[in-house]
């Protein structure tokens, strides 16, 4: 079968599964992203040459203990958020260093796994519960729509107008023009979403919260894509996995959101506090 057809069909199945499970119920959403987390842990272990038994146990324990269906307190969320933010800043420091070496110590690899994969996935699972305390699926679907909008238009604008490289050492195809184009169209998408959502707009009576979310997702989502590209470059692989034909692995599909989620989660926590 033609590669582009396989890629398209695979993408449709992925989007249908994600949107369908998120809309169906809070239980199907939590279980789907719990499954995504375990797959991502397995992929990260392969990238890092790390035995997967202990990491998978860590993931299952974290999922059971910190699931929003069981525990969803403000202080617990803050602690998880701090841990994920700490690892995000460490990975950013490595990204902007030339030729940093990957950690060889098992403890360091487990720490990176925890901060880069497990904690962000737990925050994604908690995100729809973060403001009003009840399950609000639109915030998840809206966040992914913004991520997909940025990816699509950054590619289109970069392909047609791109002249200046954004971060050539890690991703030669990304351009500043593509980044700015993705930002513009994602902000426009946020303005449209704000007219339909039942999550942020009624609380703040403004499209600004969604615009703020769009800016965070574009900036840190782009950085997340670069971080994962660097991890794959160190591992000497093109894709993190092959679970999605034509798209790679779960980390390839979710690299933007898992890196941006600590910043987005903090943003929503601040909005909750000021409201």
Site of tokens 């991703």:
171
pLDDT of residue 123: 95
pLDDT of residue 258: 96
Which helix (H) or strand (E) segment holds residue 219: the answer is: helix 208-235
| 3 state DSSP class of 73 | coil
Buried b (16+ CB within 10 A) or exposed e, 139-155: bbbbbbbbbebbbebbb
d(CA 44, CA 249): 10
pLDDT of residue 203: 55
Q: How many CB atoms lie within 10 A of CB 112?
A: 20
CA-based angle 220:225:90, to the nearest 5? Answer: 65
d(CA 1, CA 108): 42
First to last CA, the chain: 53
pLDDT of residue 255: 93
10-residue stretch averages of pLDDT, the chain, 275 residues long: 73 93 95 96 93 95 85 82 96 80 79 96 92 82 96 95 91 94 97 77 70 96 94 84 77 94 93 75
pLDDT of residue 246: 65
């Amino acid at each position: 079968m033609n590669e582009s057809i396989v890629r398209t069909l695979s993408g449709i199945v992925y989007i249908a599964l994600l949107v369908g499970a998120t809309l169906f119920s809070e239980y199907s959403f939590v279980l789907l992203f719990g499954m995504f987390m375990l797959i991502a842990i397995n992929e990260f272990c392969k990238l890092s040459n790390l035995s997967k038994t202990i990491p998978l146990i860590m993931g299952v324990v974290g999922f059971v203990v910190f699931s929003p269906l069981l525990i969803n307190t403000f202080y617990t969320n803050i602690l998880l958020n701090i841990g994920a933010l700490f690892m995000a800043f460490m990975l950013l420091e490595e990204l902007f260093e030339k030729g940093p070496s990957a950690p060889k110590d098992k403890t360091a690899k487990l720490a990176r796994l925890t901060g880069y994969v497990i904690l962000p996935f737990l925050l994604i699972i908690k995100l729809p519960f973060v403001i009003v305390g009840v399950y609000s699926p639109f915030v998840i679907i809206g966040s992914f729509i913004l991520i997909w909008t940025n990816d699509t238009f950054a590619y289109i604008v970069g392909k047609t107008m791109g002249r200046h490289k954004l971060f050539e050492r890690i991703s030669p195809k990304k351009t500043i023009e593509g980044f700015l184009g993705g930002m513009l169209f994602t902000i426009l998408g946020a303005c449209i979403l704000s007219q339909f959502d039942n999550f942020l707009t009624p609380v703040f009576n403004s499209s600004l919260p969604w615009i703020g979310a769009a800016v965070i997702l574009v900036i840190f989502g782009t950085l997340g894509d670069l971080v994962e590209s660097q991890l794959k470059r160190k591992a000497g692989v093109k894709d993190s996995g092959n679970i999605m034909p034509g798209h790679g692995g779960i980390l390839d599909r979710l690299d933007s959101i898992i890196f941006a989620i600590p910043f987005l989660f903090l943003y929503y926590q601040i909005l909750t506090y000021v409201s």
